[in-house]
Structure 1
Amino acid sequence: MTGSESAAALFRCCEHLTVRVAPGHLDKVFDFFTRTLGLPSPWMSRNGSFTSAGVALGNVPLEFLQMGPPRPGTPPVRLFGLALEPTLPIDEVPKALRARGIRAGGAIPMQEQVEAGSLRTLWKNVYFDDLGGSSLWLQLFLVMTRRKPRTVRKPQQLRGALAWRFFNRTFTKGMLSAVEYMSPEEGHLRRMERLLGETPGPLGPLGILGVDEVVMMSREPRRVLRAWSAILAPVTPTEAGRFEFERGPALRVISGQAERLDELVLRVQSLDTARVFLAERKLLGSQATGRLSIDPAASSGLRISLIA
């Protein structure tokens, strides 16, 4: 992108990716990434009903978010969230998205209680659609968050089975958001960059250089491409449906039988080295010219491909 395009864009990069993990599954998937694949972890934190653990993928952090029980019939571990870093102040993002024809909620603060009973805002999220086939529950949630008062009187947390049922019906396909962290709070991306320093790769025995792209599947790829063209304008997709950010991983929209974030494509230093490592440990999945995959059985069902 040119400098003028960057100034006009609403988002500069993917701040972090999120994998939703059902209770009881965090240790296995986290150990696979940190012990088997040897990736460093920038953070591990617990906040009420959530546990958040991160791994560094070079150019973007991957957050494992252990939450309440998922909707019946959904995988216990799945690629779930895409959080974008805006170029505008977060409070201006909802209006900017809606001006582009995108359903968006208001800027929701995540707060913690400090001394004397006052509240400190850690970060703000703006949730939006388009993973395709938005549900009425999601539309209702976006409207509700737009109508929230600017000052939240107490920290909001999901509690109880009823709250989780609402969450699961709202974010059936995944969770898209913009995020801004309030100083001195560090975001996930900044934590990772500080941990890795000036030499972010190659990482682990696979020699990971970064995430090349996040693949989004849709039954209506043309409609979703049009929506993302509006979200990311003036950036336009390639013929393969790939959107390039100012930095970090790209986003690619493909045709498929579901509406979801489908796959991570990692760039490695050497496919031969990665192939040997995976084969020796019986972790090797499918192989094609210039591309390998990790056996989903080893990665708790996550679809991960490797390219060089």
Structure 2
Amino acid sequence: MTKYSIDEFEKIGQGHRVDIFIVEILKYLKENSGKSDRKELIQYFIEEDDIVPSEWITKEFPGKNGTYKKFDFDFNFAKKELQVSGFLKDIRNVLELSEKGYDLDFQKFNLEQDVKNISAKYWQDKHDIRIAMKKKSKQIEQSPEKETVISEITTDNWREKLSKALHQMSPKKFESFARLLVKNMGVNIDNSKGVQVSNDGGIDGFGYMRADDFRTNRVGIQAKRWQGNIGRVEIQNFVGALSMNSNQAEYGIFITTSYFNKNAIEAARDSTIPITLINIDDICDLVAKYEIFVKPVLTYELDDYYFQD
């Protein structure tokens, strides 16, 4: 398959992009024990995939209610089509190959026949059911594909809201949030070294983490609120700052409200000082894990059984 630039990837249209994601998701799962969550797949697309441009994952587009990511729609359509065609199971946002998926032979795989034709019948059945329901209730018709995928995306809508809220915070409030985040990770900020609120709303500072054997490690911290991906230069600058005699630290934590591109990840791995990279998905995971000003909500989605005669 062709390696696309971000402009080329957008121009090929959503249908073709969904087809690419179908193949790439299957390929990743087949090569990685058949199981993955969304976060691992996103990291794969950013760091390793040689088809999808990494910038596409985080690119935002203007919409009626603010900005949105076309990647979310592409990914969710692809995931749904793999589910209805029997290749994939989605259990609480963990994707796992079904028996049919595990048995898949890519040499014999036909995207149109094995996935698209089957999913087309599913979409048509959903369409017919919703048309009948809306005729009874006299509601305005909406395409079944859009309705279904939007429903799936909103299950993780709190993550999108958190991301936007962090970008809209004042620099001082974001500094407070970053402090609270690293504190829950077990790091105590060293106020004597000074913590600076930078122009991009991030913090630069130092802290200490105590290990189980009572050994204390010095940690350098940086947090950046960026819309675009963090690149190699930002990581190298961070490592350089940590290497100064007055700032020497055993390891560093770099937090961003976006993602790290492939070059940034490689720079962190090659660094003589170990660097922990925390992207927006990791932030959301940590906020949920430590319940930092959030609370879990249990909900249910009705199956088609309730809408069929």
TM-score band by shorter chain is under 0.3
Between Structure 1 and Structure 2, whose CA radius of gyration is higher?
2
Higher strand share: 1
Higher helix share: 2
**Please, what TM-score do these two structures have when normalized by structure 1?**
0.25
**Please, what TM-score do these two structures have when normalized by structure 2?**
0.25
